Amino acid sequence: MEGVNKLIDFAIKHRCIEGRILCPCVKCKFRYWLYKFDVKEHLICDGIVPGYVHWIWHGEGGSLDTSSSTPNVVSTNVQIENPEVNIIHDAFPHILHGINEPSTSQQTLLGDGVLPREDSEDSKIFYELLKDGNQELYEGCNKYSKLSFLLKLYHIKCLGGISNKAMSMIFELLKDAFEQARLPDSFYEAKKTINRLSLNYVSIHACPNDCMLYWGDDKATETCKVCHTSRWKQPNGKNGGDVRCGRKFKKKPSKVLRYFPLKPRLQRLFMSSKTAEYMRWHAMDINKDGLMRHPRDSESWKRFNEVHVEFTADPRNVRLGLAADGFNPFGHQSSTHSTWPVILIPYNLPPWICMKQTSFILSMIIPGKKMPGNDIDIYMQPLIKELNELWSFGIETFDASQGQFFKLHAALMWTISDFPGLGNLSGWNTHTGLACPSYNFDFLPNRLPHNRKWCFMGHRRFLGSSRRYRHHNSKFDGTKDLRSPPKMLSGSDVLNQLADINITFGKNLEMTEKGKRSRVRRVEDGDTQQWKKRNQKII
């Protein structure tokens, strides 16, 4: 009885919402918020969840440290069976564990045992979401809470492709038919509640000719600094002003980049204790047979570890791959449209997890209807900025598996694309006789005489010097190939080749004699045509 009263009094003081606390009995298992008299009755009659000695759900600071030698903290796998409450706890780990999230100016790690600021914005959102997650949809409803019902509806909207207008009509119907249900008044109010759990994106206006982004110092600019095209659409669909027939219209941007910030998404990977443990798999798991089953078994990964020792010291630092390609979002319709998503893959995870769709991180959606082509670097600027900051400074992140904050860094290891996409990302021209990036300029182009297509021979160079195929001329192109393999270029070699490249991004459209607009390539005289760009910011 003394222990029960002590737990209830402690929870009322530190984790009480409208006079109720989470019930830790064997039957409730932290799913319901009850008054203290009901909690006391449940604990006496049914008993407490086994292993719940450290009261993290009721305001006791710190985390469940399985390696601690303190007798009062034991190893436990206490889990709340309410999935909506689990989502809330994953989104606010610093409040759940009673740890203040450090500000960006502190740059120091905080220890356990510090109670959260009750007046902080995160604390208010956390308790409001917990209230919605434990509030019955209507009196006597044990199947759905207010929050779970909203999440189910929003999931159906996403899977079914239902418009916002249709969802607003559905909410009006439900509100009118079930007056006793605790539903928001509109879909707009429902989205405000759900957005507190989600990871939002940033809309960045772009020049319709892919010349620049309206962000940073250019956020308030009205016209493109390169092609002088207006930032806005006219009501008739053309670029220009916003006044028609004396009426004023709301300004609509000609092109919008949807960018999904990387830092909070990497932090979210460590908010689940299970996922946080998997993020160290690449360093903890031992490759027993020496076969390559994961990028961590490759020579480039091992070479990276040798060069960047400080980054490798913490296995939680994230290594990313970037994939980009275009697709037509309108299926097989006759309309021509190319939208380009850019996706990041965290290679810290084991191979059976990292290539699942649920592990992919959507970084940005580059709008169509024309592909960005060589100008894709314009849209990559926000991502490159975040990657530079993550590499140089890192970000304070909470590791749920160890119950502590650490400085998270990240590095982009590879890009993944088809051959045309490789040309767009790297700037290497993949449409000529020197298209192979492995050979670089050390190659003799061959063109088939009848169909005029490029033919890439010379693969005998990679064979051993004593192989007989090197001397067979009749079976190949009529010549012997005794050359050594091409040199593997370093980053410095590539930068030396790019030293004289000078190009302005954007589709420079000028009027021709026939009155049509054609693109003019912006390359200075003397520049090589094999490298198409050199972006100073990215390099």
Tell me what pLDDT residue 183 has. 87
Q: How far apart, in whole angstroms, are the C-alpha atoms of residue 530 and residue 539?
A: 18
In a domain, 206, yes or no: no
From the list 536, 439, 422, the residue with the least C-alpha distance to 487 is 439
* Residue 243 forms part of a structural domain: no
Please tell me whether the peptide bond between 274 and the residue prior to it is cis, using omega within 30 degrees of 0. no
On whether both 381 and 409 belong to a single domain, the answer is yes
Co-location of 101 and 173 in the same domain:
no
Low pLDDT (below 70) residues in the chain: 61-86, 89-91, 93-123, 198, 235-249, 331-334, 508-528, 535-539
Backbone angles phi, psi at 324, to 5 degrees: -145, 135
Checking DSSP bridges between strand 410-416 and strand 318-324, what pairing results, if any? parallel
Q: How far is CA 291 from CA 287, 288, 301, 462, in A?
A: 8, 8, 14, 22
Q: Which residues contact 478 (CB under 8 A, 6 or more apart)?
A: none
pLDDT at 304: 93
Shared domain for 31 and 142, answered yes or no, is no
What pLDDT sits at residue 393? 94
Shared domain check, 179 and 307: no
- Sequence-ordered alpha helix ranges (H) in 254-298: 262-269, 273-278, 281-284
Whether 397 and 264 share a structural domain: yes
Q: Quick check: is 169 in a domain? A: yes
Inside any domain, residue 418: yes
In a domain, 523, yes or no: no
**CA distance readout (Å), 250 to 232, 237, 243, 253, 304:** 10, 13, 9, 10, 51
Distances (CA, A) of 178 to 133, 142, 172, 340: 19, 16, 10, 43
DSSP 86: H
Quick one: pLDDT at residue 321?
Answer: 95
- pTM of the predicted model, to two decimals? 0.73
For residues 315 and 317, what is the distance between their CA atoms, to the nearest angstrom? 5
Domain boundary residue, one of 400, 426, 452:
426
Q: Which of 364, 398, 426 is the last residue of a domain?
A: 426
Instruction: Examine residue 422 and state whether it is found in any structural domain, yes or no.
Output: yes
What pLDDT does 113 receive?
Answer: 31
| Domain membership of residue 176 as a residue range | 135-195
The pLDDT of residue 494: 87
Tokens encoding 432: 């000529």
What pLDDT score does 509 carry?
Answer: 53
d(CA 111, CA 109): 7
pLDDT value at residue 247 = 56
For residues 80 and 166, membership in a common domain is answered with no
What is the Cα–Cα distance from 343 to 425, expressed in whole angstroms? 13
Contact between residue 89 and residue 39 where contact means Cβ atoms under 8 Å apart? no
Q: Which of 126, 154, 176 is the last residue of a domain?
A: 126
At 95-151, the pLDDT tens digits run 655 444 444 333 322 223 333 444 456 667 777 777 777 778 888 887 888 888 888
Q: Do residues 329 and 416 both lie within one domain?
A: yes
CA dist 352 and 223 (Å) reads 48
Cα–Cα distance measured from residue 494 to residue 427, given in angstroms and rounded to the nearest whole number = 11
Q: Are residues 411 and 338 in the same domain?
A: yes
376 lies in the same domain as 277 = yes
Q: Which two tokens stand for residue 223?
A: 């016209």
Burial group, residue 35, by CB count within 10 angstroms (0-12, 13-18, 19+): middle
Instruction: Identify the H or E element spanning 243.
Output: strand 243-244
CA dist., res. 300 & res. 392, Å (int) = 21
| Domain shared by 163 and 78, yes or no | no
Minimal CA–CA distance to 254: which of 221, 287, 208? 208
Whether 101 contacts 125, CB under 8 Å: no
Tokens of 11: 């929870």
200, part of any domain:
no
320 falls within a domain: yes
* C-alpha 475, offset from chain centre: 50
Residue showing tokens 């590499």: 391
Do residues 187 and 333 share a domain? no
Q: pLDDT of 463-480, one tens digit each?
A: 888 888 888 888 887 888
What six digits make up the tokens of 283? 């360093």
pLDDT at position 316: 95
Our count of domains for the chain comes to 3
- Tell me the two tokens of residue 507: 């589709």
- DSSP letters along 439-464, please? TTTS---EE-TTT--EE---GGGGS-
Does 406 share its domain with 272? yes
Question: Can you tell me whether residue 496 is helix, strand or coil?
Answer: helix
